[in-house]
Structure 1
């Protein structure tokens, strides 16, 4: 990279993207709006950008998948990083929701057992509408 103006342009792209590091939606919009400029970045600038964003492990994986070549599509790399982050977020959300649901049902069953209401336990387990009404009535 002998041309100082190209170097400045790459630095501007890198620092522009770094400000969106914690806002994936903004990062994605920026990448879409600047797709051509990002695609034109040289391999060193692309590596620097991903490294500065804290994506060393995923960067290594992408490089291995690209056969070790430094030339890869930066926009695709960003798309992959965002998709991976979304996937991990969905997994965490599913797990959290499942755990919350189990605690809620367990609390409901405990209360119904304490009130000696096995009839309502059977209904709560088999009928989502009854279960929702019971959650509401017990403030669960």
Structure 2
């Protein structure tokens, strides 16, 4: 947050709140993507370790099936 505050400060000590909001939204999206990647990695590991390659392939392309697998393994 300090970095965002420093970057959005404008002359006279005021702040560009639009830039601050945009920066916070960007950070949130990046954090969400990272969490999603981590969950997908965990799901992949679990499916591979159990030899469930067909499930892995389907989960990689079908959102509904992926959610089902996430729930099955307690990741959702």
TM range (shorter): 0.7 to 0.9
Question: Where does residue 59 of structure 1 map in the other structure?
Answer: 10
Equivalent of 2:17, from 70, 77, 82? Answer: 82
Q: Does 1:125 align with 2:76?
A: no
Q: SS state of the match for residue 9, structure 2?
A: helix
Deviations 1:32-60 (A, max 9, x none): xxxxxxxxxxxxxxxxxxxxxx7697323
RMSD: 2.3
The TM-score normalised by the length of structure 1 is: 0.45
Rounded Cα–Cα distance in structure 1 between residues aligned with 2:30 and 2:58: 25
Deviations 1:73-101 (A, max 9, x none): xxxx66xx211111011111110000000
Gaps in structure 2 of 5+ consecutive residues = none
Q: Which has the larger Rg?
A: 1
Q: Which has the higher helix share?
A: 1
Gaps in structure 1 of 5+ consecutive residues = 1-53, 64-76
Flag the 1:99–1:57 CA change in 2: closer, same or farther, 3 A: closer
The TM-score normalised by the length of structure 2 is: 0.80
Aligned residue-pair number: 70
